[in-house]
Structure 1
Amino acid sequence: MKIESLRRLRGPNVYLSRPATVARLHLGDLTGVETTDVTGFTERLLRALPGLAEHHCAAGTPGGFVSRLRGGTYFGHVAEHVGIELSQLIGRDVTFGRTVGTGVDGVYDVITECPVDESPESPVPGALLAAAIDLVVRVAAGAGPSTAQLAGPLAGLAALAEREATGPSTRSIIEAARRRGIPVERFDDLSLVRLGWGHRRRMAWAAMTDRTSALGVDIAGDKHVTRRLLDEAGIPVAPGGAAGTGDEAVRILELLGGPVVVKPRNGRHGRAVALHLTTADQVRAAFAAVGGEAVVERQLDGRDYRVLVVAGEVVAAAERVAAHVVGDGQATITELVERVNADPRRGAGHSRVLTRIVVDDAVRRVLARDGRTPESVLARGEVAGLRDTANLSTGGTGRDVTDQVHPDVTRICRRVAALLGLDIAGIDLRLPDVGAPVPPAGAATGAGVIEVNAVPGLRMHLAPVEGRSRDVGDAIVRAMFPGGSDGRIPAVAITGTNGKTTVTRLIAHLLSGSGLRTGTATSDGVTIDGRVVQIADATGPRSAQMVLGDPQVEVAVLETARGGLLRRGLGYDWTDVGVITNITADHLGQDGLTSVEDLAHVKAVVAERVRDGGTLVLNADDPWVRSLADRPRVRADRKRLIWFSLDPQNPVLAEHLSRGGAAYLLHDGWLVQATGARRTPLMRLADVPGAYGGAALHVAANTLAAIAAARALGARPENLADRLGEFDPAADNPGRGTLFRLGDVSLYVDYAHNPAALATTLRTLHRLWGPERCVAAVTLPGDRRDDLLAASAQVLADGLTRVVLYEDEESRGRAPGEVAALVEREMRARRPRLTAVSADGFRAAVTGALDLAAPGEVVLVIYESWGPLRSFLAGLGAVPAGGMPVPAGSAPLPPAAPQVSRQLTGIPIY
């Protein structure tokens, strides 16, 4: 049994609304074997992992999975449940799993939930499943380990998961943001997170935000500059100075008198900080340990306090207690440290709310100063300090004192943060009592500010050893998003089989006319505020995140295709508007899709992820789209449903309008907005750019869908007609029904590549030129199933008498010439007298089609890649025609009396 591939679904997907991992699993020797075929398997597995007895499986109650084991189930299913159980045992709380067949014997897809903030590149899911496979194979072979024997591997998996997880500070900010409904995206495996979208987007790296002053960070990082700046402002601080040599450090000691503190000028986390120094030798040794410039300060009396200031307000305060142990009269200090470190709240570094104590040279020096060693036994109740500094990173703890902070302390801390220009600051003070007034600077009271921390740790406030936990993550989020803002910008997602790109571009065009800076992702690339920033198939989650993460964008318009959704999930959690254009046979045989019903299930994710109170725009003329409104998770009662239709008598439309609903429809040649019994004409279809006088009915459907979405996002109805009139298909929607003129021949360029799209395109050309005056240069993608290619070929044969066939440069798994041969064979079977020739590449195909065309005729060009084709046409001298084409030597065919070949009349228009 082995893992063939592993991919991460980073957002909502067809399986669940949270991230998941999909592993392609090959059962190998266990193919066709069930658990009941292996004697004693179930009992050995339950001995190793008794927690499996609580798994529900499909039964919905504890013990369901055990029943499946004893009744006989395949080993891919077993690996799924073992992986989930191992995840639970290391504290990675996931519960969802599913195993589905791929259509190949012994090959399954194992889907398991991932923690929502786990890095998309995390190795943890793969490591867990690999460990699960290893365990299952060993148990099947009769050598299953005991629970005790699993301890080592589980510890390794737990350590890996802990390294990959966010730290407590970052996690508190993420959790606070999610409670507010603010979108959160973690960057790689770092503590860098993006909060919100577009121009409302903010970023945080632990307790540093994108508004944190770089100057303030640098000042706080230089302890000498900080002390001087605060001293000059009248803040009580410890007297001292900077030392570049050991001699300078000793001179400061002689000036101040002992005891003094020596610390790195630019140190962090209490490293190389030495306290209680009274002699020159001690100061020289401490300076040498610093390894660079140092600060020497008089050691202030009192207790250590940390006060957290966020956006000018004190939000938390804690007394910090240095690492220590308390004796029991029997255990050595080393043994007492081991007991303290057994606290599950303690971990390595900053991964948990407390840090493990390490018995190192610094601890030994502190112990030696008090006449102790790590092997000393403390009397019952005797306390042994292990560190001079109270940093949590060296094993210290915190006690919440927020409610005890005196107004004087609050005033000083607010001034300190303002003086350094820090939006978030952790201010360390030595005071006799945080609840007492602080004498002014110069009063020689031995109290004051000892340090200022930019990017302060939040752990002592989130989980104090004593006292109330403070939700400082929420305080930071409130400061970043004042007024209850959720950090979102309006967003619309568009999916379907055909028309997605056109509808996306139309929506963006209409919204930009309202003065909004739009970000758009389509199958041709990403556009920000009207400028193309990336040329690619940008219909997946990464492209969506590119748009949503751009600080210029005020509204996001996202084409969302099947491929990206299935392979990587959605790139967003919710949208305000979802549009489903149509659902027809395409891409079947890919990604496990075998039927149009499967396609509808995938497209439904976009409908399901429209927020409560948002708007769902659906095609009333498409039966599969209509079916989405009945899905439980679409919940039309919680979303505003808007239909669009080319048939004003559509019964779904009629019923919806009778209940006072809203719809957009084509009626008597007009695009009409309907609400209940009210009808508002918006624009004549004949005047819509790209509709070619009304012959291109699919343009009406696309435009109605776009208008519905734009209106839902606030576009004003009185501006729609003017804005639509400004839409230039050749420039704003290139390659989708784009008309060129080359001498006395027209070229109609489109991306149609499935039966429904080809039928729609040919219907348009027949209305304009007639069925006998059309020539075509056609390519079809090789990754379509044979029956879909055959159906496309039959549509072409019904609508054309002269065709030049060529193949995509990317064969998509097909042998050279295979697709063209299949298409030609199917076309000739449908129309034996067809004129069909093959060409090598699109250049030869277009040239050949032009040779077959007579003056006044049209050449349909179906392409693979728009850029190279557009350059080639420009080189030939072809120019955008625009408007209503006029065949040479004849009057234009009136749209009211279209000529349509009989063979096409049964094909639905989309």
Structure 2
Amino acid sequence: MKIESLRRLRGPNVYLSRPAVVARLCLGDLAGVETADVTGFTERLLRAVPGLTEHHCAAGTPGGFVSRLRGGTYFGHVTEHVAIELSQLIGRDVSFGRTVGAGGTGEYDVILECPVDESPESPVPGELFRAAIDLVLEVHGGAGPSAAVLSHRLAGLAELAEREATGPSTRSIIAAARRRGIPVERFDDLSLVRLGWGHRRRLAWAAMTDRTSAVGVDIAGDKHVTRRLLDEAGVPVAPGGAAATVEDALRLLAELEAPVVVKPRHGRQGRDVALHLSTPDEVAGAFAAVGGEAVVEQQLDGRDYRVLVVSGEVVAAAERVAAHVTGDGVATVAELVERVNADPRRGPGHSRVLTRIDLDDTTDRVLRRAGLTRESVPDDGVPVRLRDTANLSTGGTSRDVTDQVHPDVTRLCQRIVALTGLDIAGIDLRLPDIGAPLQPGGEPVTAGVIEVNAVPGLRMHLAPAHGRPRDVGDAIVRAMFPGGSDGRIPAVAVTGTNGKTTVTRLIAHLLTGSGMRAGVTSSDGVVIDGRTVQVADATGPRSAQMVLGDPHVEVAVLETARGGLLRRGLGYDWSDVGVVTNITADHLGQDGLDSIEDLAHVKAVVAERVRDGGTLVLNADDPWVRSLADRPRVRADRKRLVWFSLDPENPVLTEHLSRGGAAYVLHDGWLVQATGARRMPLLRLAEVPGAYGGAALHVAANTLAAIAAARALGARPENLADRLSEFDPGVANPGRGTLFRLGDVAVFVDYAHNPAALAATLRTLHRLWGPERCVAAVTLPGDRRDDLLAASAQVLADGLTRVVLYEDTDPRGRAPGEVSGLVEREMRARRPQLTAVRADGYRDAVTEALRLAVPGEVVLVIYEKWAPIRAWLTELGAVPAGGTPVRAGVAALPSRHAAHRPTPAPVRG
């Protein structure tokens, strides 16, 4: 049994609304073997991992999985449950899992939930799967791993997970943002997170934001500059100065009243800080330990306090207590430290709310000053100090004193952050009592500011050892997003089989007419405020995040395709508007999709992830799209449902309107907005760019869907006609029904690659030129199933008399000539008299199709990539046609589309 592949679904997906990881397992020799076939397997597994007895599995109650084990289940399913249990054992709280067949014999996809803020690049899920596989194989082969071996492996996994997790400060900010509904995206394994979208997005790195002053950070990072700046402003600071040499340090000792403190000028987290120094040897030794420039200050008496200021507001205060243990008269200092470190709240570094206490040279020095060693046995109840500094990073603890802060202290701290220019600061004070008034101007200084910290740690406030926790993450988020803002911009998600790219571009065009800067993803690339920033198939989550993370974007219009959604999940949590254009047979046989029902299940994710109160735009003429409205997770009662249709008599449409609903419909040749009994004509179909006088009815459907989405986001109906008339398909929607002229022959270029799209394109050409006057140069993608290629071939045979076939440059796993050969055979079987020619590449294919055409005819070009086709047509002398290409004597539309403007109807009742 082994892992063949591993992929991360970074957002909502077809399995659940949270991130997940999908492991493709090959069971190898265990293929077809069930747990009941292996004597004693279940009992050995439960001895090794007893927590599995509580797993529900499909039964929905504890013990359900054990019943499956005893009754017989496949080993992919066993691996799923073991991986979940191992995750729980290392403190990584996940519970969802699923195992599904992957098509091949003994191949399964095992899906496991991931913590929502775990890095998409985290190695933890893969290591958990490997550990689960190893354990299952060991249990299958014998007694299984010993408790010691399993414990060691779990410890390694726990350490890895802890390293990859966000620290408490970042975690508190993320949690506060999520409670507000603010989108959060973590960057790699860093503490850098993006909160919000587009022009409302903000960045935070632990307790530092994108508005934190770089000057303020540099000031706080230089302890000498900080103390000078504050001293000159009349803020009480400890007397002292900078020391570049040991001689400077000894001079300051002589000038100051001992004891003194020596600390690194640019240090942090209490490292190499030495207190209670009175002799030249002590100061010289401390200076040497710093290893560079130092600050020597008079040591102030009093208690050690940290005050957290966010945007000028004191939001928390804590008294900090240095790392210490309390004697019991029996245990040594080293044993007491070991007991303290057993507290599950303590861990290495900053990963937990408290840090482990290390016994090192600094500890030994502090103990010696008290006449103790690590092996000393303190009397019962006697506290033993292990550090001079009270930093949490060296094992200290904290006591919340927020409610005790005197107004004098509050004003002092507010003044300090104003002087340093920091939006978030932790101010370290030595005071007799933080609840007492400050003594103005007294000499000598007995209380004052010790340090100003940029990017202060929040742990002491989030989980103090004593006192009330303070939600300082929420205070930071409130400062970043005032007024209750959720940091979001309007977002539209567009999916379907055909027309997605056109609808996406139309929506963006309509919305930018309202003055909004749009970010757009489509199968051709990413466009920000009208400029292409990436040329690629940009319909997956990474491209969506590129748009949502751009600070210039005011509205996001995101084409969301099947491939990206299945392989990587959605790139966003919710949209304001979801559009589903249609669902027809395409891409079947890929990514585990075997039927249109499977395809509808994938597309439904876009509909399900429209926020409560948002708008869902659906095609009433498509039965599979109609079925989405009945899915439980779509919850139409919590979304505004808007239909579009080419048939004003569509029963779904009429029933919806009878209940006062909204729809967009083609009626008597007009695009009409319908609300209940009211009708508002918007634009004649014949005037819609790219509709070719109304011949392209699929363009009508695309335009209705785009109007519905734009209106849902506030586009004004009186502006729609003008804005639509400004849409130039040749520029804004190239390669989708684009018309050229080459002498007396028209060239119609389109990206139709499935039976439904080809049929719609051919219907348009038949209306314009007639069914006998069309020639085609066609390529079809090799990653389509044979039956879909055959269906496309039959559509081509029914609609054409002359066809030139050529191959994609990327055969997508097919042998050279395999696709064109299959299509040719199917076409000839359907229409024996058909003229079918196979060409070598798009150049020869287009040239041959033009040779077969006579003046007044049209050549349809179905392409693989737009840019090469466009360049070749230009080289041949083709020019954009524009207008409506109708031969003399050929009507553009059936007569019913030439009707008068519908009269607006009043609202009834």
Matched, 1:593 2:593: yes
* Residue aligned with 1:428, SS: strand
Matches within 5 A, 1:543-554: 543-554=543-554
Unaligned runs of 5+ in 2: 898-909
1:617 aligned partner: 617
Alignment of 1:807-818 (within 5 A): 807-818=807-818
Local SS of the residue matching 1:895: coil
Alignment correspondent of 1:257: 257
CA shift digits 1:725-764 (9 cap, x unpaired): 0000000000000111111111101000000000000000
Contact in 2 for aligned 1:695/1:898 (Cα 8 Å): no
2:797 paired residue number:
797
**Normalized against structure 1, the TM-score is what?**
0.98
Which residue is equivalent to 2:767? 767
Shift of 1:444: 2.3
- The answer for the alignment partner of 2:419 in structure 1 is 419
Query: Secondary structure of 1:772's partner?
Result: coil
Worse-matched range after superposition: 277-286 or 222-231: 277-286
Q: Deviations over 1:562-600 (max 9, x none)?
A: 000000000000000000000000000000000000000
1:510-549 matches, cutoff 5 A? 510-549=510-549
Partner of 1:640: 640
Find the residue that maps to 2:653 and give its secondary structure: helix
The equivalent residue for 1:63 is 63
Q: Are 1:449 and 2:487 counterparts?
A: no
Please say if 1:46 is aligned against 2:49.
no
- Pair 1:168 & 2:168 matched: yes
Secondary structure, aligned partner of 2:772: helix
Partner Cα distance (2:214, 2:845) in 1? 59
Contact 1:318 1:401 in 2 (8 A): yes
Measured in 2, the distance between the counterparts of 1:354 and 1:430 equals 22
Match in the other structure for 2:96:
96
Q: Look up the SS of the partner of 1:771 in the other structure.
A: coil
Residue deviations 1:512-532, cap 9 Å, x none? 000000000000000000000
**Which one is further off, 875-884 or 116-125?**
875-884
- Contact 1:768–1:898 under 8 Å retained in 2: no
1:89 maps to a residue whose letter is L
The residue that corresponds to 1:829 in the other structure is 829
Q: Residue 73 of structure 2 corresponds to which residue in structure 1?
A: 73
Q: Contact 1:235 / 1:440 at 8 angstroms: preserved in 2?
A: no
- Asked whether the 8 Å contact 1:589–1:785 carries over to 2, the reply is yes
| Amino acid in structure 2 at the alignment position of 1:403 | D
Query: Secondary structure of 1:331's partner?
Result: coil
Unmatched segments (≥5 aa) in structure 1: 900-910
Q: Name 1:318's counterpart in structure 2.
A: 318
Task: Please state if 1:738 is matched with 2:735.
Answer: no
Q: Does 1:884 align with 2:884?
A: yes
Match of 1:630 in 2: 630
Identity of aligned residues (%): 83
1:275 paired with 2:275, answer yes
SS state of the match for residue 672, structure 2?
strand
- What per-residue deviation string (whole Å, max 9, x for no partner) do you get for residues 447-478 of structure 1? 00000000000000000000000000000000
Task: Measure the CA separation in 2 of the matches of 1:158 and 1:438.
Answer: 47
Cα separation, partners in 2 of 1:189 and 1:542, compared to 1, 3 Å: same
Q: CA RMSD in A?
A: 1.0
**8 Å Cα contact 2:491/2:555 also seen in 1:** yes
- Contact 2:177 2:195 survives alignment (8 Å): yes
Shift in Å at residue 285 of structure 1? 1.1
Tell me how far apart the structure 2 counterparts of residues 195 and 440 of structure 1 sit (CA, whole Å): 42
Match of residue 292 from structure 2: 292
**Any conservation in 2 of the 1:241–1:297 contact (CA below 8 Å)?**
yes
- Residues in 1 aligned to 2:409 and 2:156: alpha-carbon distance in whole angstroms: 45
Q: Distance in 1 between matches of 2:46 and 2:538?
A: 47
Asked whether the equivalents of residues 47 and 146 of structure 1 are also in contact (C-alpha less than 8 Å), the reply is no
Match of 1:728 in 2: 728
Question: Does structure 2 conserve the Cα–Cα contact (< 8 Å) formed by 1:98 and 1:112?
Answer: yes
1:149 deviates by 3.9
Say which is worse superposed, 464-473 or 370-379, in terms of deviation.
Answer: 370-379
CA contact (8 A) 2:886 2:892 kept: no
> Which residue type is aligned with residue 641 of structure 1?
L
- Does structure 2 conserve the Cα–Cα contact (< 8 Å) formed by 1:262 and 1:297? yes
Match of 1:711 in 2: 711
The separation in 2 between residues aligned to 1:785 and 1:143, in whole angstroms, is: 47
Preserved CA contact (<8 Å) 1:885 1:892: no
SS where residue 783 of structure 1 aligns?
A: coil
Whole-angstrom distance in 2 between the partners of 1:149 and 1:819:
55
CA contact (8 A) 2:302 2:432 kept: yes
Letter matched to residue 575 of structure 1:
S
Confirm or deny that 1:564 pairs with 2:560.
Answer: no
Q: How far apart are 1:834 and its partner, in Å?
A: 1.0
- 1:189-213: CA deviations, max 9, x gaps? 0000000000000010000000000
CA contact (8 A) 2:666 2:700 kept: yes
Cα distance in 2, alignment partners of residues 648 and 595 from structure 1: 30
Q: State the match for 1:206 in structure 2.
A: 206
How many Å apart are 1:443 and its aligned residue? 3.7
Deviations 1:170-205 (A, max 9, x none): 000000000000000000000000000000000100
Q: What is the SS of the residue equivalent to 1:218?
A: helix
Measured after TM superposition, the shift of residue 440 of structure 1 is: 2.6
Range with bigger deviation, 846-855 or 533-542? 846-855
Q: Give the whole-Å Cα distance in 2 for the aligned partners of 1:337 and 1:91.
A: 24
Indicate conservation of the 8 Å contact 1:47/1:147, yes or no: no
Contact 2:698–2:760 (Cα < 8 Å) also in 1: yes
Partner of 1:674: 674
SS at match of 1:578: strand
Equivalent residue, structure 1, for 2:892? 894
Alpha-carbon shift at residue 898 of structure 1 (Å)? 10
What secondary structure is seen at the aligned counterpart in 2 of 1:874? helix
How many Å apart are 1:879 and its aligned residue?
Answer: 1.3
Contact (CA 8 Å) 2:238, 2:445: kept in 1 or not? no
Indicate if the aligned counterparts of 1:99 and 1:111 stay in contact, CA closer than 8 A. Answer: yes
Whether 1:752 and 2:752 are equivalent positions in the alignment is yes
Amino acid at match of 1:232: E
Separation in structure 1 between the aligned mates of residue 201 and residue 872 of structure 2, nearest angstrom = 42
Distance 1:440 1:388 in 2: 28
Per-residue deviation, residues 807-850 of structure 1 (Å, max 9, x unmatched): 11111000011001000110111111111111111111111111
Aligned residues: 897
Query: CA–CA distance in 1 between the matches of 2:835 and 2:896?
Result: 25
Q: How far apart, in 1, do the equivalents of 2:54 and 2:440 lie?
A: 63
Residue in 1 aligned with 2:906? none
- Could you tell me which residue of structure 1 aligns to residue 375 of structure 2? 375
Q: State how far apart, in whole Å, the 1-side matches of 2:842 and 2:112 are.
A: 44
1:894 Cα deviation from its structure 2 partner: 3.1
Alpha-carbon distance between aligned partners in 1 of 2:722 and 2:456, rounded to the nearest angstrom: 54
- Displacement after TM superposition at 1:892 (Å): 4.6
